[in-house]
Amino acid sequence: MKRNKSRRAIACCIMAMLMAAFTACGDKTIPLNVNADQLYGCWVKNGSQEYWRYLDDGTGVTWDEADDITEEESNLRFEWTVAGDVLTHVFHGEQGNQSVPKVYTIKGISPSAMSWEDDYGQSYTLIKVVR
């Protein structure tokens, strides 16, 4: 009887150690370290006519040709910064005293495609285009 209790105790300890090891080594994603140079240029949201242009001075513009708006007509101008995998757009209101930030987590980036996720868990893919 004493031997069975010892075996059970050892088995419980082994199970606890295995569970702790698997929990500690769980799926941890390493954040990307995105360089601002990777963002410069024009991107279109996959499956849409929504465009985003990132300029090397930290400003940008977005427009949606499905709404019959061109880049030149757009009043959706923003400032942008990237730190690690966090991309922040700050839109300014027409009065100049309103700032609305929008934060995205970049999940992947290459010379031709970028994927990001917004604060609401919505994921998008953007394709780099020449315009």
| For residues 76-104, average pLDDT | 89
| For residues 61-73, average pLDDT | 96
What CA–CA distance (Å, rounded) separates 116 from 22?
28
| For residues 9-30, average pLDDT | 49
What CA–CA distance (Å, rounded) separates 103 from 84?
13
The string of DSSP codes covering 84-112 is TTEEEEEEE-TTSS-EEEEEEEEEEE-SS
Whole-prediction pTM value?
0.74
For 36-55, how does the pLDDT look when each residue is reduced to its tens digit (9 = 90+)?
999 999 999 999 999 999 99
Residues 6+ apart with CB under 8 A from 114: 38, 39, 43, 106, 108, 125, 126, 128
Q: How many DSSP H helices and E strands does the chain contain? A: 1, 8
Q: Which of 41-45, 59-63, 82-86, 96-100 has the lowest mean pLDDT?
A: 96-100
Token pair recorded at residue 111: 């010379």
